[in-house]
Amino acid sequence: MDNNAIINTTDNSNWRELKSKLFLGIVILLSCITISPILLILYELISKGIKQINPDFFFKVAPDTLQAMTAVRNGEILPGGIANGISGTLLMVALAALIAIPVSIVIGIFLYENQGKKYANLIRTLTDILQGVPSVVLGLISYIWIVQGVTKGFSALAGSVALAIMMLPLIIRSTEETMKMLPISIKEAAAALGVPYHKIILKVMIPSGFSGLMTGILLSISRVIGETAPLMLTTLGSTAINLNIKKPTSAVPLQIWEFYNNPNMIDLVWSSSLFLLGFVLTLNIIAKRISLRYN
Amino acid sequence: MIAYGKDKSAVRDVTADIKRNAITAIMGPSGCGKSTLLRAINRMHELYPNIRTEGEIELNGESIYKMSTTKLRRKIGMVFQRPNPFPTMSIYENVIAGYDLNGSKLKKDQKDAIVESSLHDVGLFDEVKDSLNKKGNFLSGGQQQRLCIARALAFKPEVILMDEPTSALDPLSTAKIEDLLVELKNQYTIILVTHNMSQAARISDNAMFMYLGELVEYDKTKKMFTNPSDSRTEGYLTGKFG
Ligand SMILES: Nc1ncnc2c1ncn2[C@@H]1O[C@H](COP(=O)(O)OP(=O)(O)O)[C@@H](O)[C@H]1O
Ligand SMILES: [Mg+2]
């Protein structure tokens, strides 16, 4: 823009200062625009949802319509909570993690060990495709495999399988990336001590990359914990706490959907959403902490 | 002969007897195959995919290809160019790692004895005896390299292979490690890759000069530095190339 800038530095110093101030201003403005949605969301959820957050919210199951109607008519806060959803979400996410973590770590290490090989590239591509599959489709798959094929009815297991399939590509890629970041020299050090291959992986590589693996796992959990569509197709929901993986189970996002459809329970939509967001944010912060501490 | 994949051989026609309790230096310009040859001696080259090898290497008359790599690498230890202690392990765990990772069941006092004597041997014990259970990352580069030597010594190997062990270190740490090697050769046989000619001259008893994958000359270090028999060796030692 200003071809003479190099020569006329002194003359242009005011203009330069102005320019850099202008630039700073734009950066600040843009970052405000970027973070304002999250702040607005937080504001909305807290202002509308906080009054429902009390011990009952965590330890009682959702009210029935009559209870909710009575409370609304009397201007009281809604009784009960989302214990059935929280327990269902924790159950299904834990089960999904149990299924997804070992499989994905093995595949991720396989990809890392076979850089550039044809079948590894094929698997990597398939992994990327899997990541792009809409979650509702994964719900359908799990419906056919598990709901129809295994549990003969809606079940927590079916929900977990759908969530686990979603977690696979995320953990696979983060495992491969984590392994790639580890210096090859520690692998050599172990090999030079005569340590057999599988022990190098188990006792040296995985512990050395532990924080990277952990971060990937936590982020994948926070990705799937709010999924609603696949759960509608697989676990249906439940008004009671259910910890039987062969039975229909509630989940926090499913409850949000149910509350949304019930005019008397709107307040619980906000508090449940606040809970879910808080949970996801916490997972993200823990993940960030872990990866920072390692580096 | 050792070749990577479809490439032409990286090392060929090397025949040599390595003397016990001596330091044998392998010299030569970068890329001439020093590391490849060194890694073949404890079969570390097999970590690379598609490697092709012909020929025989014997340890005390026994073919190294007839031993398991686990057993072989207990007898022939290795130290690398850059210090590579295990980042997740304490100093103590690093020294004993060869045993622990291989699943040896040693009693605590046996381990303690091995750790202490190995660290003594590399002159590190007094420096770290109060922080054995800390991670080694606060150590200087030279200390870390001595820790790695201690880790190799923990097995009481017969041979220690070293691939430019001081090239990442400052002169002071280098001098310490050189002194250490001279001391260690009373108990161990050391094969030292170096592209530092003066280092070879200072501490080695015998020296190999490699060029383009071939062993050009192998002789007493003194003889090689004063009166090399091959013109290529002379050219390298006088700085004409390399
Ligand atoms: N992992 C590898 N894959 C393919 N070629 C290699 C590999 N390592 C070394 N080489 C080749 O083998 C030759 C010898 O290398 P190297 O033994 O590392 O030499 P030096 O240690 O003397 O510098 C070089 O031409 C190098 O390019
Ligand atoms: Mg080399």
For residue B50, what pLDDT band results from cuts at 50, 70 and 90?
A: confident
Ligand 1 atom, smallest distance to B39 CA: 17
- pLDDT for A51 equals 92
Across A28-170, the runs of DSSP E, i.e. the strands, are: none
Buried b (16+ CB within 10 A) or exposed e, B20-40: eebbbbbbbeeebbbbbbbbb
Arithmetic mean of pLDDT, A144-173: 97
CATH number of the domain within which A200 lies: 1.10.3720.10
SS3 for B11? strand
Tokens of A213: 């693996």
| Chain B residues contacting A via beta carbons under 8 Å | 42, 44, 47, 69-74, 77-78, 80, 82, 84-88, 97-98, 101-103, 148, 151-152, 155
- pLDDT for A8 equals 54
φ, ψ for residue A32, nearest 5 deg: -65, -45
Q: Kindly determine whether residue A208 and residue B88, on different chains, have CB atoms separated by under 8 Å.
A: yes
Write down the CATH superfamily of domain B2-237: P-loop containing nucleotide triphosphate hydrolases (3.40.50.300)
Rounded CA gap, A268 and B87, in Å?
A: 48
Q: Is residue A150 part of a domain?
A: yes
Nearest C-alpha neighbor of B184 from the set B200, B218, B208, B161:
B161
Which residues of chain A have a CB within 8 Å of the CB of B98? Answer: 193-195
Nearest C-alpha neighbor of A185 from the set B80, B230, B55, B184:
B80
Question: Amino acid identity, residue A42?
Answer: L
Percent of chain A with pLDDT over 70: 95
Q: Which residues contact B71 (CB under 8 A, 6 or more apart)?
A: A194
Is the separation of the CB atoms in B212 and B47 below 8 Å? no
Ligand 1: residue whose CA is nearest its atom 25: B31
- pLDDT for A98 equals 97
Percent of chain B with pLDDT over 70: 99
φ, ψ for residue B83, nearest 5 deg: -55, 130
- pLDDT for A99 equals 97
β-pairing verdict for B62-63 and B58-59: antiparallel
Q: Judge whether A199 is closer than 8 Å to chain B, CB to CB.
A: yes
| Average pLDDT score, chain B | 93
SS3 for A102? helix
- Residue B210: strand pairing partners: B215
- pLDDT for A283 equals 94
Q: Judge whether A194 is closer than 8 Å to chain B, CB to CB.
A: yes
β-pairing verdict for B159-163 and B2-4: unpaired
Q: Is residue A197 part of a domain?
A: yes
Question: Amino acid identity, residue A36?
Answer: S
Gap from A292 CA to chain B (nearest CA, Å): 15
Probe target for ligand 1 pocket from B27, B32, B44, with the most ligand atoms within 8 Å of CB: B32
Q: Which residues contact A231 (CB under 8 A, 6 or more apart)?
A: A92, A139, A159, A162, A163, A251, A253, A254
Question: Amino acid identity, residue A129?
Answer: I
Arithmetic mean of pLDDT, A56-78: 92
Question: Amino acid identity, residue B2?
Answer: I
- pLDDT for A276 equals 95
- pLDDT for B48 equals 85
- pLDDT for A249 equals 97
pLDDT for A4 beyond 60? no
pLDDT for A21 beyond 80? yes
CA B160-B165-B168 angle, 5° bins: 165
Number of domains composing chain A: 1
Ligand positioned closest to the Cα atom of B34: 1
For residue B239, what pLDDT band results from cuts at 50, 70 and 90?
A: confident
Nearest C-alpha neighbor of A265 from the set A47, A54, A52, A44:
A52
pLDDT for A144 beyond 90? yes
Question: Amino acid identity, residue A125?
Answer: T
Place of tokens 């970041």: A181
For residue B101, what pLDDT band results from cuts at 50, 70 and 90?
A: very high
- Phi-psi category of residue B21: left, alpha or beta, with phi > 0 → left and psi -120 to 50 → alpha: left
For residue A11, what pLDDT band results from cuts at 50, 70 and 90?
A: low
Gap from A104 CA to chain B (nearest CA, Å): 23
Ligand 1: residue whose CA is nearest its atom 5: B4
- pLDDT for A6 equals 54
Q: Is residue A75 part of a domain?
A: no
Q: Is residue A130 part of a domain?
A: yes
Q: Is residue A91 part of a domain?
A: yes
- pLDDT for B238 equals 87
Distance (Å) from CA B4 to ligand 2 centroid: 14
Arithmetic mean of pLDDT, A198-221: 94
pLDDT for A7 beyond 60? no
pLDDT tens track for B74-86: 999 999 999 999 9
Q: Which residues line ligand 1 (CB under 6 A)?
A: B 4, 10, 28, 30-36, 48
Domain coordinates in residue numbering, chain B = 2-237
DSSP at A200: I
Q: Is residue A276 part of a domain?
A: no
Arithmetic mean of pLDDT, A25-42: 93
Rounded CA gap, A153 and A160, in Å?
A: 14
| Average pLDDT score, chain A | 93
Its pTM stands at 0.84
pLDDT for A82 beyond 60? yes
Domain residues for the domain of A201 are: 86-243+287-293
